[in-house]
Amino acid sequence: MASDKGPSAGDPTLRRRIEPWEFEASFDPRELCKEACLLYEVQWGTSHKVWRNSSKNTTMHVEVNFIEKFTSERRFCSPVSCSIIWFLSWSPCWECSKVIREFLHQRPSVTLVIYVARLYYHMDQQNRQGLRDLINSGVTIRIMRAPEHDYCWRNFVNYPPGKDAHWPRYPPLWMELYGLELYCIILNLPPCLMISRRCQKQLTLFRLSLQNCHYQMIPPPILLAAGVIQLPVIWR
Ligand SMILES: [Zn+2]
């Protein structure tokens, strides 16, 4: 049931929430917004308490900002296990991937799960290798889909009163396209998702270009979800 209040009523996280327009602009997979946005939560040991906050790029990328802030805090010295979840508008670049790996190498008690709305310059071989290296280091990387957009809206956004269920319904196809491309990256296949800008960068075009290796290596359900193949039709 929709509440008649926003998250403001007695919510200690209010000042750390972002505005609805910021969320919609940052996490829409159809748009290539310039600014990167990180929504994150940190949980220590078996505690049910979850610390949530958001971060933007400064002179450094959001991932590096997070790690610098996190490592400067006193509790970083704690041997207690720590679970971190990131919701990123863009996947980490290869340089951030390197910093993340070094950070996790120094702190084996930290686990990191990353949900990304888009893949950052995914044609760049270094960025692709950076994501593979992260996954090989134990980091879980997933594309944000409807449940994650719903979760972020409720927990990180200062949504208007009564609008707790009004998270933006982005078309699932774009998430499936990025999901397909992430699979290509994991399997070290050539890119198949082509993104181009037209009309003075006003129009963003998404196009798929698959080779035989994609059809051979990628599981049919992923190809099906991205609309590359269709279910067989039996004619009577
Ligand atoms: Zn970066």
Ligand 1 centre from 15 Cα, in Å? 26
Ligand 1 centre from 3 Cα, in Å? 38
pLDDT at 16: 83
pLDDT tens readout for residues 163-200: 888 888 999 999 999 999 999 999 999 999 999 988 77
Longest dimension (CA), the chain: 70
Q: Which domains does the chain have, with CATH numbers?
A: 14-170 (3.40.140.10), 189-236 (no CATH)
The SS3 call for residue 138 is coil
If 0-12 CB within 10 Å is exposed, 13-18 middle and 19+ buried, where does residue 188 land?
Answer: exposed
Ligand 1 centre from 39 Cα, in Å? 15
Q: What is the dihedral of CA 103, 83, 172, 4, to 10 degrees?
A: -130
Q: State how far the Cα of 150 lies from the Cα of 108, in Å rounded to an integer.
A: 30
For the cut 60, the answer to whether the pLDDT of residue 2 exceeds it is no
Contact of 90 with 82, CB cutoff 8 Å = no
3-state helix, strand, coil in the chain (%, to 5): 40, 20, 40
pLDDT tens readout for residues 43-78: 998 888 999 999 988 889 999 999 999 988 855 566
CA distances from 82 to 51, 158, 205 (A): 11, 26, 40
Which listed residue (63, 148, 176, 181) is catalytic?
63
Q: State how far the Cα of 76 lies from the Cα of 81, in Å rounded to an integer.
A: 10
Q: pLDDT band for position 230 (50/70/90)?
A: confident
Single pTM value for the model: 0.90
Determine whether 181 is an active site residue.
no
